[in-house]
Amino acid sequence: MKGIVVIDKPKDWTSFDVVDFLKKRLREKTIGHGGTLDPLATGVLIIAIGRNSTSILNTILKNSKKEYIAEILLGSESDTYDITGNITKNNIQRFPELQEIKNALDSFIGKIQQIPPKYSAVKISGVPAYRLAREGKEFELQPKEVELFEYKILNYSAPVLKIWLSVGSGFYVRSLANDLGDLLNTGGLLSSLIRSKVGIFTINEAIDLKTIQDDDLEVYFKGQGLVQGIGFRNYARFWAKRLNISGKAKNIENNFIEIIGQGKIKNLQRFLDRIQNGPPMANVKKQFYYFRKIQIPYSDFKKN
């Protein structure tokens, strides 16, 4: 299995835990991820498998937006800025009204200076900040420019605030929870977090690790060039039937072909190896593919 894979990271797993699991499960040494998720968080973790995939992943995710669904607990604070740390509570007399929260959140819209949590992967002289924090060492983190594009309040029932966020690279939702609590004079910490989207990749496509174990996935392939009118769809269907792959092949606008394959990992990789070049007359100038959770199950392979 080589390429980009969209994983749904389980709660209490580190991003490294996921990489380590996949190395053992897939027997592949070269695996990396694009964008760390804290153990508290779940959701989209983009994995690159194989040497060439890491550079492709960096290109895909460069300056990509991320979306989160976060729950913030007002009235409490912690040294990690989330519920896993040492928690202290404020004896506040009144929780803020919804409009007060909206006014506070509005002040974070756009490019802002944000200080990362001390318990984070930010490096100081090559050492992760969280390691220094655990050792009780004193240090200061410098603010960095991040961007909040948009937010929506999904629910507010004091003391719990649930929000949707669209942010740029390097944004710490834990820091937002802490800073919002400071601004509201209540204190605040992150109690749960789901990363629902990274670039074009969504939570609906994300594969849970059980699915990897069950060995039943989908590969999405899109190629452009001389791919139409030369039997590419028939070629894809021929190899799909030989490899017990279901799905579809469809010509779409701008001289693209779109192919979806569903089946076992080993068969999907063999199928992908075939369609990357196409039939003898094909000339695939551009291509993009990744592995994901099955979206719409197919019983056979269709040519549209």
Q: Which domains does the chain have, with CATH numbers?
A: 3-64+200-209 (3.30.70), 66-192 (3.30.2350.10), 215-303 (3.30.70.100)
Q: 107 falls in which pLDDT band (50, 70, 90)?
A: very high
pLDDT, tens digit (0-9, with 9 covering 90-100), for 205-227: 999 988 888 889 999 999 999 99
pLDDT of residue 128: 81
pLDDT for the residue numbered 45: 95
Q: Helix 232-242 to helix 265-275 angle, to the nearest 10 degrees?
A: 150
Q: Does the pLDDT value for residue 65 go beyond 90?
A: yes
pLDDT tens digits along 234-290: 999 999 999 999 999 999 999 999 999 999 999 999 999 999 999 999 999 999 999
- Residue 167: name the closest of 108, 254, 95 by CA: 108
Taking 90 as the threshold, does the pLDDT of residue 155 lie above it?
yes
Rounded alpha-carbon distances, angstroms, from residue 172 to 80, 117, 129, 168, 282: 12, 8, 14, 10, 45
Reply yes or no on whether the pLDDT at 52 is more than 90: no
Q: Is the pLDDT of residue 98 over 80?
A: yes
Q: Is the pLDDT of residue 32 over 90?
A: no
Contacts of 24 (CB under 8 A, 6+ apart): none
Q: What global pTM score does this model have?
A: 0.92
Active site residues: 38
Higher-confidence position of 36 and 77: 77
Is the model more confident about 110 or about 214?
110
Q: How far apart are CA 22 and CA 199, in angstroms?
A: 22
What number is the average pLDDT over the span 3-32?
Answer: 91
